[in-house]
Structure 1
């Protein structure tokens, strides 16, 4: 008996020693070796700070910056949006590293090297593996790499072809009409009314994506949206713990709620998807071919048949489809809502551009007609306004990770597992690229298209990413935004409320920290 106890003790001792060595390697040895490798190649950055890295200093500086933001709204947001990175760009230039806990992150602002990374066709640079907390929120094609990414992308692509999106235009217009009707009631007999448009657009885009994704099951889809919206807020609270994924097993209130939401969302989407699959098998009238789910399942079935796989090995599994449905929500709802919010804020700051955009809308569409798909395609200035808004307020930044063998970038070699970060708000405000008016809201810079928007050709403009991994839903997002902006300009004018505080803040996406309070004025119809 004593011999077995001794063996067990030795085994547990070895396990404990292995665990301690692994922790010491993560917290001390590996960061020091990576720091040495960066410095040897001339990549500058701050020294490693035990465990927290630069996270603690970053939070402190952001809190101070928010408290001292100028009262007058300005597009010169970088000193307040991320003051630590702003100081480092001044000190280190266009390529340096920072520390996220124990993990180094190379910040890249050199357009040539960014394109080199994004057009990489091998596995030297790929999307980072999502952590255990994020997986409870959403996964889908945006988190995949290699052959699985290529297969998912191939299956999803048909749902976002322009001809398919054209068929969704009436649904988008109907959702807009419902929001406008609500605004009209809020105005009542008054000429103006204050609204937090960030909340309004969250509701609008949730309604749109629920309908275009699930057709006549949109009410169930709306419930999914509410849950995922809550999940996103919970994720932002625990995201700093991503380095230690085992923390998700702790019996905390947040962990419990996140798992509960994930189960409910998965079960709801499973019910919607399996019902549609059964209807497709029997060819029932329940099938709606022109919503995103129907188009996705149709394309997936085609892929499975081409690969002669009744088990779905040649296409997506049920679990894969559910994850893509979750992604429809986050990418299709959050991005568009923020684009509309920042557009209305920008047009409220710049009344001259608001009037120019309205003149184009009234001249080409009129004030009473609901815009058609073809009408929207002819609104050049409206498109330019949206493009300039995306330049100044891009929804997300770009992150890539080096593969198992590391990666060469220019004349530098990055060790394996190193994260490369492109902060697009910084890139889109590079005076050397965009000119002296870089901090001005000037849609005219896009009058000859994106590639000629600056002295550089093509312009380093990445609001939806770039290269093979460019956002698959960008056309749907722009279609929604064009329709919404056009219909609002037909009926209302906008100005900033005195209570509005211009504080762009990154929480999964770039959004206003304290809302977007706008005074909405009813336009008097022409006699």
Structure 2
């Protein structure tokens, strides 16, 4: 009798797994494809399991095989070659396949606005995205969905608002001073040029270490280096997610990913445990004023009130998420902005004059002065338009929804090509691929500008990033003038974010 029950359970589990697999890999994708074709939304024919991955990989390899012949900003065909090819064939809307995941490319501003503002809780990150970043940033705010996302956003948002946000300015100024001194020291040793991307990456890592971990600043820098390696490996592993069970293969990069993840979480647990110990033995009345301290305080409150569970794993995932989002995207914004200013000395001088007029403390801005740096805001926006750190904005529909007259079936991912929208001649005019910050002099320009997404699910750290960028750039241009080096080779590439393949080499000259 017991044997019969065991066999029945085994058969039930076997057929359930088999049915779920067939549904996931065959029935659901086929249903979605049919629904979209009936509405006139077509796309390239997918292959079994791999979808259109091989075509996308081939197109990208061709487009980025060599550096660009000059510094110009017509980069959509280079970085999103599949979008360029397929949009010409199938129009503004088309469906392509990343393995077994159907993705609809959407570029119509009104439909994008409706999606981002109206469906924030029933659309989010897909299984493929979550699996691809599981070991990197886990289930932090960036990868959370539905009610979990609502709770996590509510917990984290206060760290980037009001007086709390203003309190970070001192860290930013202090870290920037140290970076400027290191640049001066490099010039004194006879260096004629520097790779500014390295300096900006270290600087933003220092700032996020101090604001996230405060007195555990050295451990924060260790975490930064480990997460950088983890990001590269996870990007490599996520290319194989279309193959069933690939994430369980004992491949070299899968083993390295798990090892690095363990190192990162060991360091985070040391920071967290030291805070908890200090409170428990009475050496401290709080867990600290940084992000870690705020999350631990919230975890304790919610445990006592039986609200949404915030456990240690989620605290660590939030720390990893904000470490990644808080340093890399800002470092890239700064690096591309310096490249653009080094190539456009007229705008560089305009900013220098504005900073001199507004910032009376030798180019060191106070929080209240930042809003008066209007030209600097325009330059930053134009940099984000031309080189948005994230080239696409993904959302998956978890329920059937309607966008205008378009029916979106449950399970369809919608991919918004931010880079293509920011470089659309139809939206921005004939000078779309030129550096022209003046286009942001009017408020209307911002309607199709989405570097930080939009709606309820926009980037929670947007104000932090913009404050940081303004402080760093105003201090840099008040201390140095800079030109692009002859050694600079313009070659944007995508590794999760848009990066300069060979860095950005500039020639610095100290100002009196």
* Same fold, judged at TM 0.5 (above): yes
Aligned to 1:94: 92
In 2: Cα distance, 1:365 partner to 1:295 partner: 32
Alpha-carbon contact 1:400-1:421 (below 8 Å) kept: yes
Structure 1 equivalent of residue 395 of structure 2: 400
- 1:248-397 paired onto structure 2 within 5 Å: 248-280=247-279, 284-285=283-284, 287=286, 289-301=288-300, 303-304=301-302, 309-310=303-304, 313-365=307-359, 368-396=362-390, 397=392
CA distance in 2, matches of 1:13, 1:281: 51
Task: Summarize the Cα distance change of 1:205–1:288 in structure 2 as closer, same or farther, 3 Å threshold.
Answer: farther
- Counterpart for residue 193 of structure 1: 192
Using the alignment, how far apart are the partners of 2:244 and 2:297 within structure 1? 36
Cα–Cα, structure 1 residues 162 and 245, in superposed 2: closer, same or farther, change >3 Å? Answer: farther
Aligned pairs for 1:48-127 (under 5 A) are: 48-67=46-65, 69-121=67-119, 123-127=121-125
1:422 aligns with 2:416: yes
Q: CA deviation at 1:349?
A: 2.1
| In structure 2, C-alpha distance between the alignment counterparts of 1:412 and 1:320, rounded to whole Å | 36
1:523 aligns to 2:510 (yes or no): yes
CA distance in 2, matches of 1:286, 1:519: 48
Deviates more, 1:465-474 or 1:310-319: 310-319
How far apart are the structure 1 equivalents of 2:48 and 2:367? 55
Q: Is the 8 A contact 1:399 1:421 kept in 2?
A: yes
TM-superposed deviation, 1:133:
3.9
Is 2:356–2:362's contact at 8 Å kept on the other side of the alignment? no
- Confirm or deny: 8 A CA contact 1:81 1:503 kept in the other structure: no
Any idea what the Cα deviations from partners look like across 1:405-457, whole Å, max 9, x if unmatched?
422222122222111000101011122222222211111121233xx11xxxx
Rounded to whole Å, the distance in 1 between the matches of 2:456 and 2:24 is 33
Note the C-alpha offset of 1:201: 1.4
The TM-score normalised by the length of structure 2 is 0.92
**Could you say which residue in structure 2 is the equivalent of 1:494?**
482
Partner of 2:36: 38
Contact 2:299/2:311 (<8 A) preserved: no
TM-score, normalised by the number of residues in structure 1: 0.89
Q: Please report how far the alpha carbon of residue 22 of structure 1 lies from its aligned counterpart in structure 2 after TM superposition.
A: 6.0
Which stretches in structure 2 are left out of the alignment for 5+ residues?
Answer: none
Superposed displacement of residue 202, structure 1: 1.3
Q: After superposition, give the CA deviation of every residue in 1:170-218 in whole Å (9 maximum; x if it has no partner).
A: 111111111111111111164x622222222111111110111111111
Structure 1 residue 286: deviation in Å?
8.0
* Structure 1 residue 324, shift from structure 2 partner: 0.7
1:239 maps to 238
Within 1, Cα distance between the matches of 2:481 and 2:124?
Answer: 44
Paired positions, count: 508
Contact 1:427–1:460 (CA<8 Å) still a contact in 2?
Answer: yes
Q: Which one of 508, 517, 520 corresponds to residue 496 of structure 2?
A: 508
Deviations 1:233-266 (A, max 9, x none): 1011111122346322222221111111111211
CA distance in 1, matches of 2:354, 2:307: 51
State how far apart, in whole Å, the 2-side matches of 1:360 and 1:100 are: 47
CA distance in 1, matches of 2:159, 2:231: 25
Distance 1:495 1:122 in 2: 43
**CA positional deviation for 1:140:** 0.5
SS at match of 1:106: strand
Residue 434 of structure 1 is aligned with which of 428, 446, 467? Answer: 428
Higher alpha-carbon deviation: 280-289 or 318-327: 280-289
Tell me, in whole angstroms, the C-alpha distance in 2 between the residues paired with 1:55 and 1:200.
35
In the alignment, structure 1 residue 159 sits paired with structure 2 residue 147: no
Name the residue aligned to 1:473: 461
Matches of 1:101 and 1:79, distance apart in 2: 22
Residue aligned with 2:193, SS:
strand
1:219 aligns with 2:213: no
Q: CA contact under 8 A between 1:43 and 1:97: conserved in structure 2?
A: yes
Structure 1 residue aligned with 2:404: 410
Provide the alpha-carbon RMSD of the alignment. Answer: 2.7
